[in-house]
Amino acid sequence: MGTTPLLAAALAGIPAGIQRQGLWAGRRQLFIRFAGPAETAQMYTADALARELNRALGRAPFHSVSVSGRDALGNAEFLAAALRQLPSSMLVMADTDGQRPEAMATLHEFLHLVQITVDAPAATVAMERVQDTLRQCVATRRPHALVIAGTDEASDADYLQIVEQANAASTETAIVIHPGPTPERSPLDRRWSVLLEHAMMKHSDVRIALRMAGPGTMR
């Protein structure tokens, strides 16, 4: 007679905060934050995570739960076991780098938004995995967004290439471009107006917005 394996993962915590970027920016969320190499981690079983989430959701109002942090979808079975114990009315967002398209097969039924964040310029191999994830979202009928995190090194061509690649994978993608930090220049000068015009020639659903910042915000 077999036994059910214990599902556990290392988390940096379950903090509350305001989503700083993307489609649900400004929303109050409860974050399931997977630990990075330099972060202090605590091991949670799926059942323990579900208990903590439900306790927090019962104490205060939240728009949604956000799965975030390093390799957010790298523990798909663990997440599925925890998320299936949440109230069916609670929205869940996966904030991911798009490098694990295979996780969608396990998680799609629990996710209300899949948000993929890429830095511009984006490596070709990484974008191929992002495209695979977008295609999985279409196949599983999950709403999906692509956040392009700008840098001072990114050219207009870099942004437009990512938009074009996203469109090739899914015409349903909501694309949000966040300009990179440029202290000496307004981040929403004419360059961004022209860039948005050109981006919308390649994909209809594109917007440009500033990231939120401050101690109360998290990605």
List, in sequence order, every beta strand (DSSP E) within the chain.
8-13, 16-19, 28-34, 42-45, 64-69, 91-96, 113-119, 144-149, 174-178, 206-208, 217-218
Please tell me the predicted confidence (pLDDT) of residue 5. 57
Q: pLDDT (tens digit, 9 = 90+) per residue, 67-102?
A: 999 899 999 999 999 999 999 999 999 999 999 999
Residue 167 has which token pair? 């469109």
Please tell me the predicted confidence (pLDDT) of residue 215. 62
Residue 65 has which token pair? 């739960």
Residue 123 backbone dihedrals phi, psi, to 5 degrees = -70, 145
Distance CA(110)–CA(82), nearest Å, equals: 10
Distance CA(53)–CA(12), nearest Å, equals: 14
Q: pLDDT (tens digit, 9 = 90+) per residue, 32-74?
A: 999 877 778 899 999 999 999 999 999 999 999 999 998 999 9
- Provide the percentage of residues in the chain whose pLDDT is more than 70: 92
- What mean pLDDT, rounded, does the chain reach? 92
Name the residue among 54, 51, 82 with its Cα closest to residue 67. 82
Could you tell me if 161 and 192 are in contact, meaning their C-beta atoms sit under 8 angstroms apart?
no
Could you tell me if 53 and 91 are in contact, meaning their C-beta atoms sit under 8 angstroms apart?
no
3-state class percentages of the chain: helix first, strand second, coil last, to nearest 5: 35, 25, 40
Could you tell me if 67 and 76 are in contact, meaning their C-beta atoms sit under 8 angstroms apart?
no
Distance CA(157)–CA(161), nearest Å, equals: 6
Mutual angle of helices 124-139 and 156-169, in 10-degree steps? 30
**In order of start, what are the domains of the chain with their CATH numbers?**
9-212 (3.20.20.70)
Please tell me the predicted confidence (pLDDT) of residue 113. 98
